[in-house]
Amino acid sequence: MVWSWLKKIFAPEARTSGWADLLDRSDVLICDTETSGLGQGAQVLEIALVNTMGATVFSSLVAPPKRLRIQADASAINGLTRAFLKKNNAPPWESIVDRLGMSLRSASVIVGWNTDFDSRLLAQTVAKQGGHFDAAAFPWRDLCSEYRSMRPGKNAQLTTSARREGITVPRGYGHRAEQDCRLVLEILRKMGNEVTSKALVRAYRESLKTTQRQYAFMDKLCADTDTELYDLAARYHLDPDNKEEASKLIDKLIAKRDRQEYRDEW
């Protein structure tokens, strides 16, 4: 993708987080589970998979087995009780597990907020109710632990982290699986774009002989990226290590911006 190409040229340090590389991809899935509890006997009551383009790949409630105890503290968070699941016609695990497995196997990486928990609860549910996949073998990546390294000493609870990054959490947020996936996606977008855009300008200034006009353009890019401008770069096949060609590309992007169709937007 063009954005990844520009990032490779101008912001090598952005790869230390790598979050921007996960964005806008159908093969990167965000996973979240809602469960009957936290312990070794708990099982999945809801699961959702959303790709980083924003499309829902899989989302389903799960009817609890008769002997499964749904803990009150878990229901207080996610609202999933036996009555709710029955009223909403939650399907049994056996009727969804094959489709779920196909979706999980399609991912090059599965990200989430505390994926150790999600993978463990999936494994526990498979062990109790069956399924033709090994949850632990999937390529999990925990964004929560990575976020902690970027914001050391800060509370990394999902909604708290979102608010810290300036993301609006709706009043009465229900902590349902797809809701949580989409909140993770918003944090991923916010952090990925922040790291990339800041590093882009910094690396550009440090590594290229730039003009004042180019500085101004890059500052504007950092403040308010217009992704349409990057479409122009797709027409060029440039060596990503060639700083001179990169500088020429910036001038071409400036020229496109200056055309009449962009004057009102800048």
Is the model's pLDDT at 7 over the cut of 90? no
Contact yes or no for 71/82 (Cβ under 8 A): no
Contact yes or no for 80/90 (Cβ under 8 A): no
Q: What is the mean pLDDT of the chain?
A: 80
Is the model's pLDDT at 178 over the cut of 70? yes
Range scoring the smallest mean pLDDT among 92-96, 141-145, 242-246: 242-246
AA letter at 237: H
- Rounded CA separation 222/225 (Å): 6
Is the model's pLDDT at 55 over the cut of 50? yes
Percent of the chain with pLDDT over 70: 66
Summarised one tens digit per residue, pLDDT across range 202-244 is 555 554 455 555 556 555 654 544 443 444 344 444 444 455 6
pLDDT number for residue 174 = 85
Tokens representing 162 are 């979102």
SS3 (DSSP) at 101: helix
Predicted TM-score of the model (pTM): 0.71
pLDDT number for residue 233 = 43
pLDDT number for residue 2 = 40
pLDDT number for residue 134 = 95
